[in-house]
Amino acid sequence: MIRINLMAVERRPKRRVGIDLSQQVTLACGLIFVAAIGLVGWQFMTLRGDAANLEAQMLVVDQELATMANVVDQRNEFEARSAELSRRVALIESLRGEQGGPVRMLDQVSRSLPEGVWLNELRQEGDVVTIQGRATSLTGLSDFVLALESSGFFVLPVDIVDSQLESQETAEVVRFELRAEFRLPTS
């Protein structure tokens, strides 16, 4: 069966499915706000990742600096030891160069000793040599002084600082002290 309604009923206007202008502006602002929040969140996460990478790189650099500090300390220690060894080598070379002087001085003193003269002490302070000893006579002492002066290794004069006659159990001896300046003759 077919029915027909003949009654006049007010019809409502059909609703539009679209959005009016004020709602469109609100929706656009909301989308922009959500996009801005998303962009800020993305930036925050990116910067946080970059910060974590930088912290990891800083740890690596700190570890490298620590190992380099050890290397620098070892290098400084090596340089200090090298300088000390160089100083020692220079000292040894200096002593080796001056070694001939004392040996030649002792040789000349022993060659100049006449019969009846013996030494108790021989000291060298710089170039000054002090000799203490005993002689059986004043002639032996004067012969010793003349022999030292004529050797060419002692600067003239060889000084007799002290000479005293001393009584021993068997005889009298002359106790003496000489002072002279030693120098190697120039070749």
User: pLDDT band for position 16 (50/70/90)?
Assistant: low
DSSP, collapsed to helix, strand or coil, labels residue 11 as coil
pLDDT of residue 98: 65
User: pLDDT band for position 1 (50/70/90)?
Assistant: confident
Cα–Cα dist 127/160, whole Å? 17
Q: Are 182 and 153 in contact (CB under 8 A)?
A: yes
176: burial class by Cβ within 10 Å (0-12, 13-18, 19+)? buried
Output 100 or 82, whichever has higher pLDDT: 82
Please report, for the chain, how many H helices and E strands are present, in that order.
3, 4
User: pLDDT band for position 163 (50/70/90)?
Assistant: confident
Comparing 80-89, 138-147, 149-158, 173-182, which segment has the lowest mean pLDDT?
149-158
Over residues 89-102, mean pLDDT: 76
Output 137 or 11, whichever has higher pLDDT: 137
Cα–Cα dist 113/135, whole Å? 10
Q: How many CA atoms lie within 13 A of 39 on its CB side?
A: 6
Provide CB contacts within 8 A for 112, sequence distance 6+. 144, 147, 148, 151
* Statement: residue 127 has pLDDT above 90: no
Over residues 124-137, mean pLDDT: 89
What does pLDDT average to over the chain? 86
* Statement: residue 173 has pLDDT above 70: yes
DSSP, collapsed to helix, strand or coil, labels residue 92 as helix
Q: Strands (DSSP E) along 28-171, which ranges?
A: 117-125, 128-135, 154-167
Over residues 153-181, mean pLDDT: 86
Q: Output the six-digit token pair for 142.
A: 């004067």
The CA radius of gyration of the chain, in Å to the nearest whole number, is 56
Over residues 112-132, mean pLDDT: 89
pLDDT of residue 99: 64
Q: What share of the chain is helix, strand, coil (3-state, %, to 5)?
A: 55, 20, 20
Over residues 5-31, mean pLDDT: 76
Percent of all residues in the chain with a pLDDT value above 90, rounded to a whole number: 41
pLDDT of residue 14: 61
Q: What DSSP assignment string belongs to 38-73?
A: HHHHHHHHHHHHHHHHHHHHHHHHHHHHHHHHHHHH
